């Protein structure tokens, strides 16, 4: 193996500690703890594990865990009522509806009820629009975490060729926009792309977010490239990503492991977004109070 492994686990710990220190400072100055409301609908085992990890790290960072679990047979109206209640609750800094939701629930309608400033997942039309326009807003956690990891390992994005494989709303699309914002030259490839290997070969930075185990083989990687593996798939009793790790690790310059690469960074950025949301809400509150003082 020649690639440098990009250790998302240790960077996520560092980011978590920074968030914890900021939360402690907030509470020391009499401000309320940030509150993260995770909403899990149904009993998808993978989603249960993801949400459990998010909640655990939220508590470790000193935030309030305001979790809600709705049964799989909940009605659309009951789910909407919960989101509306969380939207109006000042203790809730951020709302995360874990995706996917059961088939008969309309996720779009639920997301549309989340106020943009509490949308710490960056999934609402408002935050997606802000990103598309290059304006400040909450950015989706996985691409934001990848950017933080690239920065930590001093990967030069300016003028670099980046290929993003995958065009999902959670990862591919926002990743491409964030890389573009950092002056990379970005290509988005997907399931219908012809000559995928050839296109990937052009990448200084290759982001594998196709959701297909092992789709990125050694033939798709330019020697020395930075390869980020967003995939996570169960394969017997082990986990694997979208990248053929053993083969690609002999060619890439830098590579994220699965697990321990992108996954922990997603949660770390969720904590950052929740903290930012709480800080903004406190600023608004203070300004409103001050504006009433003659």
Residue 80, interface with ligand GUN (CB under 6 A)?
no
What is the per-residue burial (b if ≥16 Cβ within 10 Å, else e) of 43-81? Answer: ebeebeebbeebbebbeebbbbebbbebeeebeeeebbe
**Contact with ligand GUN (CB under 6 A) among 96, 150, 220, 230:** 96
| Integer Rg of the chain from CA | 20
The SS3 call for residue 13 is helix
Applying the rule CB under 6 A, the residues between 139 and 158 that interact with ligand GUN are: 141-142
**Contact with ligand GUN (CB under 6 A) among 11, 36, 79, 97:** 97
Which stretch, 57-65, 69-77, 90-98, 279-287, contacts ligand GUN (CB under 6 A)? Answer: 90-98
CA separation for the pair 66, 35 (Å, rounded): 6
- φ/ψ region of 115 (left if φ > 0, alpha if ψ in -120 to 50, else beta) reads beta
Whether the bond into 222 is cis, omega within 30 of 0: no
Minimum CB distance to ligand GUN smaller for 96 or for 215? 96
| Position closest to ligand GUN via CB | 99
CA separation for the pair 205, 214 (Å, rounded): 17
Minimum CB distance to ligand GUN smaller for 143 or for 252? 143
Which stretch, 75-83, 96-104, 227-235, 245-253, contacts ligand GUN (CB under 6 A)? Answer: 96-104
Residue 98, interface with ligand GUN (CB under 6 A)?
yes
Minimum CB distance to ligand GUN smaller for 141 or for 205? 141
Applying the rule CB under 6 A, the residues between 233 and 292 that interact with ligand GUN are: 266
CA separation for the pair 248, 251 (Å, rounded): 5
Residues of this chain that interact with ligand GUN (CB under 6 A) are 96-99, 121, 141-142, 170, 266
């Amino acid at each position: 193996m020649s690639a440098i492994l990009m250790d998302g686990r240790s960077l996520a710990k560092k980011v978590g500690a920074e968030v914890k220190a900021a939360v402690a400072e907030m509470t020391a100055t009499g401000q309320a703890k940030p509150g993260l409301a995770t909403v899990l609908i149904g009993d998808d085992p993978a989603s249960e594990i993801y949400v459990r990890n998010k909640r655990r790290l939220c508590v470790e960072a000193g935030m309030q865990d305001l979790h809600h679990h709705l049964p799989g047979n909940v009605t659309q109206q009951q789910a909407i009522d919960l989101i509306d209640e969380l939207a109006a609750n000042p203790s809730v800094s951020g709302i995360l509806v874990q995706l996917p939701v059961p088939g008969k629930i309309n996720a779009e309608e639920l997301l549309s009820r989340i106020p943009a400033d509490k949308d710490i997942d960056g999934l609402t039309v408002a935050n997606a629009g802000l990103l598309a326009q290059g304006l400040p807003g909450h950015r989706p956690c996985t691409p934001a975490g990848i950017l933080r990891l690239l920065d930590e390992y001093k990967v030069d994005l300016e003028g670099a060729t980046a290929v993003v494989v995958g065009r999902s709303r959670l990862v591919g699309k926002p990743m491409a926009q964030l890389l573009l914002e950092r002056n990379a030259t970005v290509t988005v490839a997907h399931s219908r792309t012809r000559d995928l290997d050839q296109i990937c070969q052009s990448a200084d930075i290759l982001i594998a977010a196709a959701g297909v185990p092992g789709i990125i083989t050694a033939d798709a990687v330019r020697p020395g490239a930075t390869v980020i593996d967003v995939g996570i798939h169960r394969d017997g009793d082990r986990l694997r990503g979208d990248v053929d790790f053993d083969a690609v690790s002999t060619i890439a310059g830098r590579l994220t492991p699965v697990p321990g690469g992108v996954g922990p960074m997603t949660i770390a950025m969720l904590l950052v977004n929740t903290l930012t949301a709480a800080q903004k809400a406190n600023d608004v509150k203070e300004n409103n109070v001050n504006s009433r003082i003659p």
